[in-house]
Amino acid sequence: MAIAAAISVPLTSPTSRSLTSFLPHQSSPSPILQFNSLRKTVSPRLRLVAAASMSVEAAEKASPASFLDRREAGILHFVKYHGLGNDFILVDNRDSSEPKVTPEQAVRLCDRNFGIGADGVIFALPGINGTDYTMRIFNSDGSEPEMCGNGVRCFARFITELENLHGNQRFTVHTGAGLIVPEIVDDGKVRVDMGEPILKASDVPTKLPPNKDHSVVKAGLDVDGVTWNVTCVSMGNPHCITFGTEGGQNLQVDELNLAEIGPKFELHEVFPARTNTEFVQVFTPSHLKMRVWERGAGATLACGTGACAVVVAAVLEGRAARNCTVDLPGGPLQIEWREEDNHIYMTGPAEVVFYGSVPL
């Protein structure tokens, strides 16, 4: 499979500033950068040749709105977004209930060396069961998670662009984790009603025996002969949260070898559906820091559902209050677990990286 991509980068983005340094001086006003590349390799799955060209055209000829309206057979038009560095390929799929990309194609598109590069592909599909839209995701390994917190913020910003909406907006979105309600707020960030956390051990799911009201809270988990204290929470997708080992000192998350320890949690036999794993450091009752190993994506810069699960676990273990700033490698999220409705609210950014096209 050869990949030919045309990428338009908004001039406000850091990426565009770095790429324009490769271009000769242009006198055209308000340019949008387009990068066209064709790659071919000896790999039987994906062939790559170095043949690249760059061009600049006026913004009025390649506006985001006109770009998203394009319909060409065999060509996938997409927008790349990121939420705190957790990046996604967003696809307008509103004309069909079936994703335009297969899981196998998603793996190739997400490849950071031979593809576009992303943590996953997200599809905006027609709503079902009375919702405005449906969101589906294929991870970079081709698996399909139930939900993604950073992804749903990117999804909400994508919808406002597709529909040319302005100001505060609120949507109902059907996901594999149930109903999710994102809202664009005044500062351009996205606040998402993530619903209620699932704490019953069998529903997370985990085979660890419940030790507190049918839940697993600060229970021992043996990983390669080391006992970690873990709390298990589902945000529609499974999470295992740990603040450190049994009898150990406070966890210093920056010192972890995540690539080594993360898969051992993800694939542990007590998690029949695998698990996302969050390693957490507590600064104050309202300030936490986490690193995450995501099921199906590995180490990522941010995980929205993970940040929500972390605050739930911190409250259950008596380590934090219900409203916390959670620092992730890509930046902070504000997470509130409201006592009055038991819902979790996540607030954070979602930003455009570039617009592109690729043949499938």
Q: Is residue 102 part of a domain?
A: yes
Report pLDDT for 64. 62
Regarding whether 335 and 221 lie in a shared domain, the answer is yes
**Residue range of the domain that includes 160:** 74-195+353-359
Q: Is residue 27 part of a domain?
A: no
β-pair type (173-175, 133-139): parallel
Q: What is the pLDDT of residues 163-205, one digit of tens each?
A: 999 899 999 999 999 999 999 997 889 999 999 999 999 999 9
Q: What is the pLDDT of residues 45-70, one digit of tens each?
A: 332 222 222 233 333 344 566 677 77
Regarding whether 211 and 184 lie in a shared domain, the answer is no
Report pLDDT for 72. 78
Q: Is residue 50 part of a domain?
A: no
Q: Is residue 175 part of a domain?
A: yes
Q: Under 8 Å CB-to-CB from 113, ≥6 apart: which residues? A: none
The fraction of the chain above a pLDDT of 90, given in percent, is 76
β-pair type (323-328, 287-294): parallel
- The pLDDT confidence band at residue 7, using thresholds 50, 70 and 90, is low
Regarding whether 228 and 175 lie in a shared domain, the answer is no
Report pLDDT for 66. 67
Regarding whether 257 and 180 lie in a shared domain, the answer is no
Q: Is residue 83 part of a domain?
A: yes
Regarding whether 337 and 278 lie in a shared domain, the answer is yes
Q: Is residue 43 part of a domain?
A: no
Asked if 272 and 205 touch (Cβ cutoff 8 Å), the reply is yes
Q: What is the pLDDT of residues 231-289, one digit of tens each?
A: 999 999 999 999 999 988 889 999 999 999 999 999 999 999 999 999 999 999 999 99
Q: Kindly state the tokens that stand for 122.
A: 């997200």
How far is it between the farthest Cα atoms of the chain?
Answer: 68
Residues composing the chain? 360
Q: What is the pLDDT of residues 300-329, one digit of tens each?
A: 999 999 999 999 999 999 999 999 999 999
Regarding whether 171 and 294 lie in a shared domain, the answer is no
Residue 15 exposure: Cα atoms within 13 Å on the Cβ side = 17
Q: Is residue 10 part of a domain?
A: no
Regarding whether 253 and 176 lie in a shared domain, the answer is no
Q: Is residue 81 part of a domain?
A: yes
Domain count, the chain: 2
- The pLDDT confidence band at residue 73, using thresholds 50, 70 and 90, is confident
Regarding whether 142 and 106 lie in a shared domain, the answer is yes
Report pLDDT for 65. 62
Tell me the CATH number at 106: 3.10.310.10
Regarding whether 237 and 190 lie in a shared domain, the answer is no
Burial of 318 (0-12, 13-18, 19+ CB in 10 A): exposed
Residues serving a catalytic function are 148, 303
Regarding whether 222 and 177 lie in a shared domain, the answer is no
Instruction: Report the predicted TM-score, pTM, of the whole model to 2 decimal places.
Output: 0.81
